């Protein structure tokens, strides 16, 4: 039986992208995409009409406006329309093109044929319902930080990816030379997307271990700790997780944290310092930043 969907379109300031993706994910949307429209973005997402009424989406629109007020950014404009089952799964994909990230990566949509010759590392991706297409500043900053960290891997390196989403950072780390990555996310649908992207990039389940859960699951799997931690989620969640980072870290461990607005960076840095971490570098793009950290030496 054919299913009808709501196509939700949000015209917004670019700096609202991360909070809108997060809000859409919490609402239950699938297949999110972004289109650049002049100096603004159009973010699209989809939900089945059988689960949501127009009134529900009106409430979502109000939440998006409130989020913009908190961030002191222009309010987004939300529109929605009904489409049929055969249309929704391809609608969002037409707006996503191959993306060069940093000096080494080429993020390539799974439904397009990658080039036979390129100097870049091809990372193939179908995010499905998960966050992480490589187009957002926070994801790009994390991948670029991993490029720097893994530029000269000369020993076995085990990395934890907390809130792994589509698996883009875990896969990127493996392609750059990490020995093993343990990825966790609390969303079972996201886990499925990450597993499919692992296969798409021909990475073994032994090299990239994907589990549902959070830091507690990693501590269960890795009592000896990890060499590196990658975490690209919202700042509020990162602050809650920082105490657990120390339990997961070895004496020489490092971390790459993003999903952080510039005005939130000081709160993150203060919390890190309280739990034995040093901010080694801060990279910024638009209104977002990526914080590179290392364990403080006694």
The pLDDT, as a whole number, for residue 41 is 93
Half-sphere exposure of 230 (CA within 13 A, CB side): 34
Rounding to the nearest 10 degrees, give the CA dihedral for residues 216, 269, 164, 237.
Answer: 60
| Two structure tokens written together for 72 | 């002191």
Tell me whether residue 274 is exposed, middle or buried, using C-beta atoms within 10 angstroms of its C-beta: 0 to 12, 13 to 18, 19 or more. exposed
Q: Summarize pLDDT for 17-63 with one digit per residue, the tens.
A: 888 988 888 888 866 778 888 899 999 888 888 788 888 888 899 99
Closest CA to 110 of 198, 211, 44, 9: 198
Q: Summarize pLDDT for 109-152 with one digit per residue, the tens.
A: 888 888 888 999 999 998 665 556 677 788 899 999 999 999 88
Closest CA to 9 of 86, 67, 92: 92
pLDDT for 87 beyond 60: no
Q: Where are the alpha helices (DSSP H) in the chain?
A: 17-27, 54-70, 85-91, 137-149, 168-176, 188-200, 215-221, 235-248, 265-274
If you average pLDDT over residues 215-227, what whole number do you get?
Answer: 94
What's the CA gap between 242 and 253, in Å, rounded?
14
Task: Give, in words, the CATH class of 4-95.
Answer: alpha beta
Q: If pLDDT is split at 50, 70 and 90, which confidence band does 89 have?
A: low
Contacts of 150 (CB under 8 A, 6+ apart): 157, 173, 176, 177, 178
Q: Which residue has the tokens 């629109």?
A: 61
What percentage of residues in the chain have a pLDDT greater than 90?
59
| Two structure tokens written together for 118 | 């390129």
Q: What is the CATH number of domain 99-295?
A: 3.40.50.150
Lowest mean pLDDT among 84-88, 183-187, 229-233, 265-269: 84-88
The overall longest dimension of the chain from CA atoms, in Å, is 64
- The whole-model pTM stands at 0.75
Say which residue, 106 or 2, is predicted with more confidence: 106
Contacts of 298 (CB under 8 A, 6+ apart): none
Q: Is 253 within 8 Å of 226 (Cβ atoms)?
A: yes
| Two structure tokens written together for 92 | 């969002």
Q: If pLDDT is split at 50, 70 and 90, which confidence band does 160 have?
A: very high
> Where in the chain are all domains bearing CATH 3.30.70.260?
4-95
> Where in the chain are all domains bearing CATH 3.40.50.150?
99-295
The pLDDT, as a whole number, for residue 78 is 95
Q: Summarize pLDDT for 168-209 with one digit per residue, the tens.
A: 999 999 999 999 999 999 888 789 889 999 999 999 999 999
pLDDT for 1 beyond 80: no
Please tell me what DSSP assigns to residue 6.
E
The pLDDT, as a whole number, for residue 181 is 98
If you average pLDDT over residues 198-227, what whole number do you get?
Answer: 95
Say which residue, 75 or 95, is predicted with more confidence: 75
């Amino acid at each position: 039986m054919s299913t009808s969907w709501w196509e939700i379109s949000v015209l917004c300031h670019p700096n609202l992208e991360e909070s809108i993706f997060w809000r859409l994910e919490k609402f239950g949307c699938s297949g999110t995409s972004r289109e650049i429209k002049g100096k603004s973005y159009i973010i699209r997402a989809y939900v089945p009409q059988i689960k949501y009424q127009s009134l529900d989406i009106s409430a979502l629109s109000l939440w998006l406006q409130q989020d913009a007020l908190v961030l002191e950014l222009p309010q987004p404009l939300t529109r929605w329309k009904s489409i049929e089952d055969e249309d929704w799964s391809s609608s969002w994909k037409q707006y996503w093109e191959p993306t060069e990230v940093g000096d080494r990566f080429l993020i390539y949509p799974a439904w397009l044929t990658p080039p036979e010759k390129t100097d870049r590392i091809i990372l193939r991706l179908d995010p499905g319902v998960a966050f992480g297409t490589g187009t957002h500043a926070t994801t790009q900053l994390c991948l670029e930080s991993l490029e720097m960290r893994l530029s000269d891997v000369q020993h076995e390196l085990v990395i934890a990816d907390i809130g792994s989403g589509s698996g883009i950072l875990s896969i990127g780390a493996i392609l750059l030379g990490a020995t093993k990555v343990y990825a966790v996310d609390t969303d079972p649908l996201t886990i499925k997307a990450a597993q499919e992207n692992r296969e798409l990039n021909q990475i073994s389940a032994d090299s990239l271990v994907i589990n549902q859960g959070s830091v507690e699951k990693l501590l269960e799997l890795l009592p000896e700790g990890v060499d590196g931690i990658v975490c690209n989620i919202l700042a509020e969640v990162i602050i809650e997780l920082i105490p657990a980072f120390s339990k997961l870290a070895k004496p020489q461990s490092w971390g790459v944290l993003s999903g952080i607005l510039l005005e939130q960076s000081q709160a993150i840095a203060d919390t890190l310092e309280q739990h034995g971490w040093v901010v080694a570098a801060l990279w910024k793009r638009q209104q977002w930043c990526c914080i590179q950290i290392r364990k403080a030496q006694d």
